[in-house]
Every structure is written in C-alpha cells, then in structure tokens.
Amino acid sequence: MPRLLTTKAGEKVYKPSMAGFVKIASKADLPASGEAREFTLGEKTLCVANCDGVLSAMDNVCLHRGGPLGQGVVEDGKVICPWHGWQYDPKTGEAAHNRAARVVVYPIKVEGDDVLVEI
C-alpha cells in the first residue's frame, strides 16, 4: 500500500509501496570497523561501511570513474574509493573535495540478526 507523504511545499504525494526497509544481509555479514563491503539488492549494489561501529549504506558507484566504493576502506571517517582515492562522508554521501557532488545515502538499521536498508 502506498504511503502518503507531505513535501516541504505542503503537497501530498504517495510513495510507492515497494519502498521501505528490506533485508540485505545478516549481522554476521557486516564489515568490521574501518571496512566497507558490497551488498546486492536486486539489480542494485550498495556499499555498507562501518565507521567506528556506526553503519552507513550508500550507492556503491564512485562519481569519478565508477569505482566500487564497497571494495574500498574507511579512513578518518570517510569511505575511500579503491580506484582513485575519492573520499565520501558516509553520513551525507558528500565527496570530500566537492560538497555538491554526492552519492545517495540510505537509512540502515539492524533488527535482531537482520540488516535492513530503506530503498
């Protein structure tokens, strides 16, 4: 069933029912602190990063040359692309060198043994 949302302008819009939290992994599959890992959800691949115990989920494709962020590392609170070193804030998706460039960040949570991401 679609969810009714209100935009900042006060307009009422419906969000498709396919949206919501979906399981992407088990807790045991999560990356260790300071690491990132790729997870596939249908045709989409996400990067899940562990920054000192805080999880984040973002698009897996670096904006620079399409590198796989989930194969990178986490250093100084940034997810670093393994191809050319572009750095992203895991909370906002902002590129460190250009705040206007950003990857999509998705809400993530752990419930019991399940890791869930809102798509």
User: What pLDDT, on a 0 to 100 scale, did the predictor assign at position 14?
Assistant: 43
Domains identified in the chain and CATH numbers: 20-118 (2.102.10.10)
Rounded to whole angstroms, how far apart are CA atoms 53 and 4? 33
Count CA atoms within 13 Å of residue 96 on its CB side. Answer: 13
User: What pLDDT, on a 0 to 100 scale, did the predictor assign at position 17?
Assistant: 44
| Portion of the chain with pLDDT greater than 90, in percent | 81
Amino acid at 60: N
- Mean pLDDT along residues 47-65: 96
CA nearest neighbour of 21 among 41, 5, 38: 41
Lowest mean pLDDT: which of 14-18, 51-55, 74-78?
Answer: 14-18
Give how far the C-alpha of residue 3 lies from the chain's centroid of Cα atoms, to the nearest Å. Answer: 22
Structure tokens at 99: 């705040």
Whole-model pTM?
0.81
Predicted confidence band of residue 16 (pLDDT cuts 50, 70, 90): very low
Lowest mean pLDDT: which of 15-19, 57-61, 79-83?
Answer: 15-19
N-terminal to C-terminal alpha carbon distance within the chain: 15
Residues in CB range of 22: below 8 A, 6 or more apart: 41, 116, 117, 118, 119
Tell me: the pLDDT tens digits for 46-55? 999 999 999 9
Q: Which residues pair with 38 in a beta bridge?
A: 47
